[in-house]
Amino acid sequence: MTTVTDTPHITVPAADEIVDRVRELQPLLAKNSAQGEADRRVVEESITALTEAGAFKIAQPRRYGGYETSMRTMLDVSAAVGAADGGTAWVVTLCNVCAWLTGLFPEQAQDEVWATTPDAKVSGVLSPTAEAVKVDGGFKVTGRWYYNSGSWHASWAVLGIPITNADGDVVDQGLALIPRADLGFEETWFVAGMRSSGSNCLIATDVFVPDHRIMPVPAAIGGNYATEHTDEVLYRSAFVPLLSLVLAGPQLGMGRKALELVTAKADTKAIAYTFYTAQSDSVAFQLQIAEAAMLIDTAHLHAYRAADDIDSAAVAGVYPDELTRTRVRADTGWVLDHITKAINILISAHGAGSFGENNPLQRIWRDSNVAARHAVTLPAVNYEVYGKALLGRDDQITPLI
Amino acid sequence: MSTASDIDPAVVAGGIDPKRFRDLMARVCAPVTIVTTTDGDGPHGATASSFAALSQDPPLVTVAFDRRSALLARIVATGRFGINLLHHGQEDLAMRFASRGTGGERFAGTPWHTDTGLPRIDDAAAWVSCERYNTVDGGDHLLLIGLVTKACNVERPPLVYANRTFGTHSRFSERPRRPIVDHITACTSD
């Protein structure tokens, strides 16, 4: 079904229709996954197909023809792509979350990105690995930002900067929205998994960024955004919780796919060096499958609980308290913990054949494990953050809550 | 300033125990830097603990090299060098650039990039680009005086070397700063 919004001539499909469109592309995305790894870049055919299906519109404001959906739909779409290819899912996820970040900027900045090019994609890195010099009307920015997932495909980037005053003292932290054409690019992404995400290095040398394209980060962490469109529910979502939870989306799809692949072979694959001619006859194997399935379900339950925390607060127009926000970080870590454990069990159950280069399981195993080490999602760190909040301690370990 | 010729030769001959002198110098808390340059043979670099400030106007720094240093010859030839002030977590790089090896061997496996045409170590606590301003004879060493053309700082604890041990400023965390600086450091650390 489709619903017509207030915006004339723009029809926004229902969330389940968007996800169905992505699912239809899964065979194509899976077909291109090995090539994407070899190229260290998602095959253009996949990007084009996803763009046409609207997969990159889900976090873009309706004012520019976007679908402006929800945290839940962002998880759904990332998971649907992730079931076909992890690296492609990472690109979709990161471009969408950076589109969401762009939607927090003042309208003037958003217009520059999307008014004439509604299909423009944005990549980004939060780390302020840069220097910024205050000049009239903005900042001169110089820096290098590693791990720009999706930078092959983006025409803009949101990049972390320290904000300085006229004396050069650091007074704030920001995100600068910069056209890709103003930035240098170096291939630095040579990794064991998530190879096709193309998370390369963007470089700025004395790039002028006007004030309206700079968003203060501490204010955003507290729920104060620059967008004038406070009626747009998606752009009221909690900052760090959304940035963290989106990274669980690809994992959900990879976990489900691993279970599907292993289950599908169980009736015809023997257990080596045993009398079992079918894995599915073995009670031990049955237990492994059940445990993996439960771990994957647990991951989903926590991911969607966290998504509902974010979405319901945004609908209500309230900013979730610190305990809720740290719980989303813990939920995100919980997803990664359970998906990586499930995939490990499934690989052991399926056997050494999992590691054949033509077996998608080995790519899922590598992609999931590499992605699960993203710094903002590390389980041990995120449990510590949540534990501090549960205990009401004043020695919190991160500003990112 | 005095030169060796103004000083009583008996004093130059010294008569002090070289080991005692080395032990004294070992107590001096020194910054740990990797000095770099580049030429047709690629990037070159070496660990140096003699980095010091000299002048504010013009901005000058000094670093001393053994006259036999291959890097020194290349810096004299190119007239340009970079100084990476290492951070507390880069002890392994300090050792790598202090041991035997060619520039290619030292830079292989070292995260680095080019800045103002000079090899810059990723994530160092500070970076200085220099033009050769002057050189001063100093016995078996040559003191390079560099004119600073670019300076970059990162909020990271600097690597120091004293008593033949690597460490950092023990009260770095008590340095005067705004809380936002800690936020930024938390968001930039790997």
* pLDDT above 90 for A50: yes
Q: Confidence class of residue A9 from pLDDT cuts 50, 70 and 90? A: low
Q: What is the DSSP string of B31-67?
A: E-EEEEEEETTEEEEEEES--EEEETTTTEEEEEEET
- Do B186 and A398 lie within an 8 Å CB cutoff? yes
* pLDDT above 80 for A83: yes
- pLDDT at position B15: 81
Closest CA–CA distance from residue B181 to any residue of chain A (Å): 7
| Mean pLDDT lowest among A59-73, A94-108, B8-22, B40-54 | B8-22
- pLDDT at position A1: 43
Which chain B residues have a beta carbon less than 8 Å from that of A220?
Answer: none
- pLDDT at position A25: 98
Residues ≥6 apart with Cβ < 8 Å to A136: none
User: pLDDT by residue (tens digit) across A145-167?
Assistant: 999 999 999 999 999 999 999 99
Task: For residue A21, give the 3-state DSSP assignment.
Answer: helix
Q: What distance in Å separates the CA atoms of residue B40 and residue A33, rounded to the nearest whole number?
A: 40
User: pLDDT by residue (tens digit) across A284-299?
Assistant: 999 999 999 999 999 9
- Do B188 and A129 lie within an 8 Å CB cutoff? yes
Rounded mean pLDDT of chain A?
96
- pLDDT at position A11: 84
Nearest to A126 among B113, B181, B187 (CB): B187
Nearest to A144 among B113, B180, B186 (CB): B113
Q: What distance in Å separates the CA atoms of residue B178 and residue B129, rounded to the nearest whole number?
A: 28
* pLDDT above 80 for A8: no
Arithmetic mean of pLDDT, A332-360: 97
- pLDDT at position A401: 97
- Do B187 and A128 lie within an 8 Å CB cutoff? yes
Using a CB–CB cut-off of 8 Å, the residues of A that contact B are 126-129, 131, 144, 160, 162, 169-173, 186, 217-218, 375, 398-400
Q: What distance in Å separates the CA atoms of residue A234 and residue B150, rounded to the nearest whole number?
A: 43
Q: Is the sign of the CA dihedral A245, A250, A253, A254 positive or negative?
A: negative
Buried b (16+ CB within 10 A) or exposed e, A112-131: bbbeeeeebbbbbbbbbbbb
- Do B187 and A169 lie within an 8 Å CB cutoff? no
- Do B184 and A128 lie within an 8 Å CB cutoff? yes
- pLDDT at position A142: 96
- pLDDT at position A2: 45
- pLDDT at position A179: 98
Intervals of chain B under pLDDT 70: 1-14, 190
- pLDDT at position A5: 47
**Percentage of chain A lying above the pLDDT 70 cut:** 98
Using a CB–CB cut-off of 8 Å, the residues of B that contact A are 113, 122, 152, 178, 180-184, 186-188, 190
- Do A186 and B113 lie within an 8 Å CB cutoff? yes
Closest CA–CA distance from residue B23 to any residue of chain A (Å): 39
**Percentage of chain A lying above the pLDDT 90 cut:** 97
Which chain A residues have a beta carbon less than 8 Å from that of B178?
Answer: 169-171
Mutate to test the interface with A, among B127, B182, B187, B190 (most CBs of A within 10 A): B187
User: pLDDT by residue (tens digit) across B26-76?
Assistant: 999 999 999 999 999 999 999 999 999 999 999 999 999 999 999 999 999
The pTM of the full predicted model, rounded to 2 decimals, is: 0.91
- pLDDT at position A351: 97
CB atoms within 10 A of CB B21: 11
Task: For residue A249, give the 3-state DSSP assignment.
Answer: helix
- pLDDT at position B155: 87
* pLDDT above 70 for A217: yes
